[in-house]
């Protein structure tokens, strides 16, 4: 019998693949939309739920960008970031590497220095007031191409807020080849940042190979198609390159047809390192606890298995050792108290 939702809700967790704007709940989006009545984004909660209904990945990107359009001032950035942390705290998420796309906000008129100051102010307050430790992964919006890469790399290496730990690549994969971004990932890695591109969500294994060989990926965002290539599976297992798996996201974007067809069990059976994540939780009608419920059902986990899944996310995170040790001890204490 799989673990209970109650246990998973209380389990101290880390999340490694979750987007800044994509974490804006209907409550947060409504507050931002009320500030910007010219936006097509509805304020009413029922209308918002209908608005956040996707037919495919392209529709998701379209909706996502209209929410980005609501974030036009540093105060909007600060509000979004702190309120996302508040909702993480309610799920017992203790540590999160939030994927942030500064380019889209900078293009909408926010100075990059002010953007970084706003997220840092929210990060500091969230740790002090909410008990949530936030770190940043700045990602290139793939749909923008090289201009987005140039500016994202500049902000990451020249401004570089204190919480920045990684450099990523998001957005559509189809028609957005990974090798063109190699110089910008090289610059980020030379500056001491970790490489964490999305790959293999809506494209095949070759995109994952490009992420590994060309972008020197240390973790793979999604990696859903990895199981199609036995040589890739062997490589991922041998080199212990973690996959950031988001089951409900994969269904919402039609990357997989159903939970029953999700490759997560095959990944674990093959010895791959996997972490469970929510990606863009309110937009997909989920949260991290719900994703753990899905994973526990797919993998037939008991409490010990679920706790080990949570530990894996901590271990493969880019958190400082002291943060890892503290959170691992918290997971151990929680499971011991529930035993």
**Catalytic (active-site) positions:** 201
DSSP string, 107-121: HTT--HHHHHHHHHH
3-state DSSP assignment of residue 248? helix
Structure tokens at 263: 């490759």
Q: What secondary structure letter does DSSP report for 246?
A: -
**Alpha-helix residue ranges (DSSP H) falling in 158-281:** 182-190, 205-213, 230-239, 247-252, 264-269
DSSP string, 9-27: HHS-EEEEEEETGGG--HH
Q: What secondary structure letter does DSSP report for 283?
A: G
Contact yes or no for 17/221 (Cβ under 8 A): yes
DSSP string, 212-237: HHTT--SSEEE-TTGGG-HHHHHHHH
For residues 138, 280, 292, 26, the Cα torsion angle rounded to the nearest 10 degrees is 130
């Amino acid at each position: 019998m799989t673990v209970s939702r109650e246990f998973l809700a209380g389990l101290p967790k880390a999340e490694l693949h979750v987007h800044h704007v994509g974490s804006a709940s209907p409550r947060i989006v409504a507050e931002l939309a009320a500030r910007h009545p010219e936006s097509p984004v509805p304020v009413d909660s029922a209308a918002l739920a209908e608005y956040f209904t996707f037919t495919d990945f392209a529709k998701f990107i379209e909706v996502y960008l209209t929410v980005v359009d609501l974030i036009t001032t540093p105060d909007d950035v600060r509000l979004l970031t702190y309120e996302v942390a508040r909702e993480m705290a309610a799920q017992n998420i203790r540590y999160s590497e939030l994927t942030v796309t500064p380019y889209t906000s900078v293009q909408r008129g926010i100075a990059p220095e002010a953007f970084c100051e706003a997220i840092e102010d929210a990060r500091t307050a969230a740790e002090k007031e909410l008990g949530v430790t936030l770190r940043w992964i700045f990602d290139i919006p793939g749909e923008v191409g090289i201009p987005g890469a140039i500016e994202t790399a500049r902000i990451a290496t020249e401004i570089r807020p204190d919480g920045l730990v990684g450099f990523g690549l998001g957005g559509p994969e189809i028609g957005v080849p990974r090798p063109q971004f190699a110089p910008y990932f090289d610059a980020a890695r030379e500056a001491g940042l970790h490489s964490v591109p999305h790959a293999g969500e809506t494209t095949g294994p070759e995109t994952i190979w490009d992420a590994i060989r060309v972008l020197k990926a240390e973790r793979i965002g999604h990696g859903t198609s990895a199981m199609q290539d036995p040589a890739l599976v062997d490589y991922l297992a041998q080199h212990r390159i973690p996959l950031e798996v988001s089951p409900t996201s994969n269904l919402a974007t039609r990357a997989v047809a159903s939970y029953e067809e999700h490759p997560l069990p095959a990944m674990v059976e093959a010895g791959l390192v996997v972490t469970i994540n929510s990606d863009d939780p309110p937009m997909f009608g989920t949260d991290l606890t719900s994703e753990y419920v899905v994973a526990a059902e797919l993998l037939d986990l008991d409490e010990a298995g679920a706790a080990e899944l949570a530990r894996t996310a901590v271990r493969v995170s880019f958190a400082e050792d002291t943060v890892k040790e503290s959170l691992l001890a918290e997971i151990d204490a929680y499971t011991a108290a529930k035993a």
